[in-house]
Chains A and B, each alone.
Chain A
Amino acid sequence: DGGITQSPKYLFRKEGQNVTLSCEQNLNHDAMYWYRQDPGQGLRLIYYSQIVNDFQKGDIAEGYSVSREKKESFPLTVTSAQKNPTAFYLCASSGHGYGEQFFGPGTRLTVL
């Protein structure tokens, strides 16, 4: 059963802490993405990766970091430098077909 998994579903973080959100896919897709959703706004691109060991900043990369050591995995670290990290985070992947994206279920991060 192919798809994308994200964990955890809910995450609570104290101010000043780094946290890592997991994203795994078994669709054999080369490209993977991280988006952030805030109330009333569209999905905004944080980082994307076209291939293993390569990734590019999206429009709102400040305060985030990623790695792509395996094709299947694209974890996102929310660092203490991110000023307003409370949001819903979606991971996606894309193979062929004009960039059609397949999404995971999301992680809701709350900073306490």
Chain B
Amino acid sequence: ILNVEQSPQSLHVQEGDSTNFTCSFPSSNFYALHWYRWETAKSPEALFVMTLNGDEKKKGRISATLNTKEGYSYLYIKGSQPEDSATYLCAFGYNFNKFYFGSGTKLNVKP
């Protein structure tokens, strides 16, 4: 079983703050790295699918970077809003079918 670490475990920020989380994964046999957002009482939804070293993705105020050589990815949220409150999961894959999930970072944005 591969080890995927996410930090911090939880985060409380004020509306308007910018924040970032880390996902650490093995630096070998990389296939893809996924970020998911999991809101309470909903299903996890994919935010980003990252496949290349140096890959950078952006969706509105949220962006992610990837360093496969050193085994980490950062997720950034600029100007956090209450609707960003959710658990953010990362998943490291070494092939199409086998993904290992971190335990998530739970973000709470206070109005």
Whether the pair B101, A43 counts as a contact (CB closer than 8 A) is yes
In the bound complex, what is the Cα–Cα distance between A45 and B4 (angstroms)? Answer: 14
Whether the pair A42, B100 counts as a contact (CB closer than 8 A) is yes
Question: Range of interface residues on chain B?
Answer: 20 to 34
Contacts of B96 in A (CB 8 A): 31, 94, 98-99
Distance (whole angstroms) from the CB of A85 to the closest CB of chain B: 20
Question: Range of interface residues on chain A?
Answer: 20 to 34
Contacts of B4 in A (CB 8 A): 42
Most buried by B among A40, A43, A44, A48: A43
Which listed residue, A4, A58, A100, A106, touches B34 by the CB 8 Å rule? A100
A101 CB-CB contact with B under 8 Å = yes
In the bound complex, what is the Cα–Cα distance between A58 and B1 (angstroms)? Answer: 10
In the bound complex, what is the Cα–Cα distance between A102 and B96 (angstroms)? Answer: 14
In the bound complex, what is the Cα–Cα distance between A105 and B36 (angstroms)? Answer: 14
B32 CB-CB contact with A under 8 Å = yes
Whether the pair B34, A101 counts as a contact (CB closer than 8 A) is yes
Contacts of B99 in A (CB 8 A): 45, 99, 101
Distance (whole angstroms) from the CB of A12 to the closest CB of chain B: 20
Distance (whole angstroms) from the CB of B96 to the closest CB of chain A: 5
Could you tell me which residues of chain B, from 14 to 38, have a CB within 8 Å of some CB in chain A? 31-32, 34, 36
Chain B interfacial positions (CB closer than 8 Å to A) = 1, 4, 31-32, 34, 36, 42-46, 49, 51, 89, 91, 93, 95-104
21 contacts between A and B (CB under 8 A): A31-B96, A33-B97, A35-B101, A40-B103, A42-B4, A42-B104, A44-B101, A45-B100, A56-B97, A94-B96, A98-B31, A98-B49, A98-B93, A98-B96, A99-B34, A99-B93, A99-B95, A99-B96, A99-B97, A100-B49, A101-B36
